[in-house]
Structure 1
Amino acid sequence: MVFTDWPAPTSEHLSLAEPFPGDRPLRLSSGAPLAPVQVAYETFGRLNDTRDNAVFVCHALTGDSHPARHHADDAPGWWETMVGPGRPVDTRRYFVICANVVGGCAGTTGPWAPGPDGQPYAGAFPEITVADMVGVHRALLATLGIRRLRAVVGGSLGGMQALEWLLRHPRDADGFAIIAATARQSADNLAWNAVARYAIRSSAAAAAGPAREAGLREGLGTARMIAHLTYLSERSLHRKFGRAPRRTGTRTHPSSLVQGDFAVESYLEHQADKFLRRFDAQSYLQLLGAMDHFDAFAVPDRLHTLDVLPDVLLYSFTSDRLFGPEHSEGIRTELAARGLSARHERDVTSDVGHDAFLLEVPGFLAVADRFLRGVDLRSGTLRDGLVPS
């Protein structure tokens, strides 16, 4: 499969693999086959001689395979606070892998990719789940010759992937860090996503062909504005913007629908316009659906069968109105009922909201660093990782 013009590569260090070629399709959770499946990924650091220092980083809803710079002149990554030299996921110590999820739009097969008729799948792309994302990640690791991970780390949708990985394949890693995540969406979460989907689909409902795609993209900008209201706390929005007026000369965003009088409106318009340059509306709908249908503890219980249990870190932020501490505590309770003790740490210092996991929050980063160093010390205790299930 060939990398296409959409989307633009995120980094010169992007690599491509095809773990599911045309004659060996991926069997999705729905039962539908998908082939070929291309995976876009990046690696950082060096795999050691025993091939046991690998850390897999799972990205959030609108992330990609580029969490950090590879060098000073590289484009900034989306998780520079967590990944890199001297950071908790230290690229001098670990071999770090990050891959765009199946259904995404940053190089891994998704609605943008050519379907059986040679045209982009678009709305005909089959429904994917968080379990499908993890299955493709594991297939990628097999192609890289990695049988066990030191750790799986992810926040938000990335944390949901880490939790799914823990429950389905607990022997794959020595440790799992599940950050600002949930085991299942609350009614409030579902409602926000329902409004976002409505914004996207209603903008295209009266059109067909290219006009419909243009409508989807217009709606995607509105959906991005809606999402940002869940990523930031009310306090942080007030601190940044209050009722300040829009600055002169900022009514220039080409795809903006609002262009109102206040600075907070200008900020949301800016976020929408940036997003439209890098994301696909059909992928956004796919990934929202995967999050909404995720129910981690509906999977069969495999934890009671383990002789050695992995280390698990749950981390939450009290200002997070999307996946606050009650979500992580719910995961901790469910894991305890299955015989696995998980550590739940919560941050009370940041008032930023859900996006705090992406930012420089010293207490959070210190906990993540201690967790990974602890996993480092017990490496080699788990056996037979990354085996077919």
Structure 2
Amino acid sequence: MSRALAPAAPPATGAWREGDPVGHRRFADVGDLPLQLGGVLPQVRLAYETWGTLAPDGSNAVLVEHALTGDSHVTGEAGPGHPTAGWWSALVGPGRALDTDHWFVVAANVVGGCQGSTGPSSPRPGTSRPWGSAFPRLTVADQVAAEVRLADHLGIARFAAVLGGSMGGMRSLEWAAAQPDRVGAALVLASAAASTADQIGGQSAQITAVVSDPGWRGGDYHDAPDGQGPHTGLGLARRLAHLSYRTAAELDVRFGRDAQFGEDPLDPRAPGRYAVQSYLDHHADKLVRRFDAGSYVALTDAMNTWDVGLGRGGTEAALAAVRTPLVVVAVDSDRLYPVADSRRIVDAAPSVVGGLRVVTSTSGHDGFLLEADQIAPVVTETLELGRRG
């Protein structure tokens, strides 16, 4: 009787690296990037994908913003160069809400990320090593500043719309605040105008999990042998995060106190796992094989520092000054970015169109990825606002 082989040890980093299959990525060198918190990130490169055809006047361009562990692969199958299928495939493509037969869709891997854009796993200019511990702190405003450079590179003077959820919603709102003449309308989905103490606390715990792993090596682990990266810490961070992405009620319905098949959690000799533990273990293992711990820390830190009012006189003052039409959507069961966070934007920003929209979902924060039937109409509305703007 054959025995199943144990999975191979994960690489030190799950980042895309030079020599890996390119897939559908393209690359733009956007120059040296001055940073909001000081310093300059030199020789920034952004990996991006596009779908559709740019109109001669550029009027049909749309920017789609990914969340924390997403990337530029918004739609399409998994394959060489793309470890996962598109994260919004139900909404982006021919005949879908964001119809690529009409719209020219752009999605970039955020600066600080690990799927082709400059980040901690990227080669540090002037050296033969990755950035690692020397990678500077970034903010959401820095991420958007890099995307502005990408728009210039592509010859796009103005996006008809910028669409994003979660961390992508932060960038969508930052585009509206920072670049009002370059955005027709913005969709801010399952996000916030500024991170709260609760969000900073949970996210800081995830950072601590990563940097406390001996495999972290101060951030300089990228050349470690397979199995010797900060996988335990990154996996723990993913487990903590995933619990905030879903709801207590959903987890209880799906798993309850059931044991993983063939395992006994109450065995005093060798305790097995509950089914929910196995579920979290699975998501942790998937992430460590496709993501970089340094990027997880850098991007989570950027989410902690997020405040659209930074340098603009405070959150409410910044929201009051936004003139780009905003469509603001919350998920009713979201416990990471609860409805109150979206309500704050609606109450303070006079450019919000149609008041607060609320998606009904049992899936919590992940509803912004899963409830395509409810999200499609607000995508369509945002595009129409941008078309008219």
Report the TM-score when normalising by structure 2. Answer: 0.85
Counterpart of 2:283 in 1: which secondary structure?
helix
Corresponding residue of 1:90: 99
What is the CA–CA distance in structure 1 between the aligned matches of 2:111 and 2:294, rounded to whole Å? 13
Q: Does residue 1:264 correspond to 2:276, yes or no? A: yes
1:368 deviates by 2.4
Which digits, 9 at most, give the CA deviation of each residue in 1:32-57, with x for residues without a partner?
A: 11211111000001111221100000
Counterpart check, 1:108 vs 2:120: no
Match of 1:356 in 2: 367
2:334 corresponds in structure 1 to 320
| Counterparts of 2:162 and 2:146, CA distance in 1 | 14
User: What amino acid is aligned across from residue 239 of structure 2 in structure 1?
Assistant: M
TM-aligned CA distance change 1:178 to 1:341, over 3 Å: closer
Give the RMSD, CA atoms, in angstroms.
2.9
| Secondary structure of 1:200 counterpart | helix
Deviations 1:143-183 (A, max 9, x none): 11111111000000000001111111111111100000011
Structure 2 contact 216–230 (Cα < 8 Å) conserved: no
User: 2:181 aligns to what?
Assistant: 171
Q: How does 1:127-146 map to 2 (within 5 A)?
A: 127-146=137-156
**1:360 Cα deviation from its structure 2 partner:** 3.1
Deviation at 1:305, TM superposition (A): 7.8
Q: CA deviation at 1:19?
A: 1.2
- Choose from 220, 223, 230 the match for 2:244: 230
What amino acid is the match of 2:168?
Answer: G
Specify every segment of 5 or more residues in structure 2 that has no aligned partner in the other structure, as ranges. 1-12
CA contact (8 A) 1:259 1:266 kept: no
In 1: Cα distance, 2:271 partner to 2:112 partner: 32
d(CA) in 1 for partners of 2:61, 2:232: 40
Q: Does 1:287 align with 2:294?
A: no
- List aligned pairs for 1:327-338, cutoff 5 A: 327-336=341-350
Q: Tell me, in whole angstroms, the C-alpha distance in 1 between the residues paired with 2:383 and 2:186.
A: 9
For 1:365 and 1:40, the matched residues in 2 are separated by 26
Corresponding residue of 2:386 = 375
User: Greater CA deviation, 69-78 or 111-120?
Assistant: 69-78
The question of whether the paired residues in 2 share the 8 Å contact of 1:87 and 1:369 is answered with no
From the superposition, tell whether residues 55 and 348 of structure 1 become closer, same or farther in structure 2 (CA, over 3 Å). Answer: closer
Query: Contact 1:42/1:65 (CA < 8 Å) preserved in 2?
Result: yes
Number of corresponding residues? 360
- Deviation sequence 1:3-55 (CA, Å, 0-9, x none): x99416686211011011xxxx2111122112111110000011112211000
Correspondent of 2:38 among 31, 44, 53:
31
Change in 2 beyond 3 A, CA 1:237/1:206: closer
Where 1:171 maps in the other structure, the secondary structure is: helix
Deviations along 1:193-224, one digit per CA (max 9) or x if unpaired, are 12111211112289676599635232001100
1:347 to 358, 364, 384: 358
Match of 1:385 in 2: none
Query: Whole-Å Cα distance in 2 between the matches of residues 230 and 147 of structure 1?
Result: 37
TM-score between the two structures when normalised by the length of structure 1: 0.85
Query: Shift of residue 101 of structure 1?
Result: 0.7
- Partners in 2 of 1:201 and 1:215 — Cα distance? 11
What whole-Å deviation, never above 9, does each CA across 1:245-278 have from its counterpart, x for those lacking one? 10249x9xxxxxx994211111100000000111
Q: Which amino acid aligns with 1:278?
A: R
Native 8 Å contact 1:26 1:33 kept in 2? yes
2:253 is aligned with 1:246 = no
Give yes or no for contact 2:194–2:308 (8 Å, CA) kept in 1.
Answer: yes
Match of 1:150 among 157, 160, 174: 160
CA change 1:248–1:178 in 2 (3 A) is same
Partners of 1:59 and 1:354 lie apart in 2 by 14
Amino acid at match of 1:68: T
- Structure 1: 5+ residue runs without aligned partners? 252-257, 382-389
User: In structure 1, what residue type is equivalent to 2:118?
Assistant: T
